[in-house]
Amino acid sequence: MTVDRVVESKSGCGGQCAHCALGDAIGQDETISKGWRLVLPAVGVFLVPLALALTGAVLFRGSPGRQTVGAFGGLMVGLLIAGITGFLMRKGGQGQ
């Protein structure tokens, strides 16, 4: 049973998660990201742009203006990489 079917069949929540079929459906649903498939994109989206912003700030540390430009440039490159990677991951997942 998929998560969508269980959600459609349940009109309300009784608050007893151990007895709910939704928990079993989530555990069996292959389309829900779990484990490293959840952690790796999260790290890529949040930590990689932050690390590249820090790297840009360190590389251009001559003056506060250059440091700001370096941090902003690193952040933009990190966000671009994260966006392209996310797009390719979604596109690759649709073909399966």
Nearest CA-CA partner of 72 in 87, 85, 59, 86 = 59
Contacts of 54 (CB under 8 A, 6+ apart): 71, 74
pLDDT score for 78 = 93
Q: What is the pLDDT of residues 9-39, one digit of tens each?
A: 555 666 666 666 666 665 555 666 667 777 8
pLDDT score for 88 = 83
pLDDT score for 77 = 95
Domains of the chain, residue spans: 1-32, 33-96
pLDDT score for 94 = 57
Q: What is the pLDDT of residues 48-87, one digit of tens each?
A: 999 999 999 999 999 999 999 999 999 999 999 988 888 8
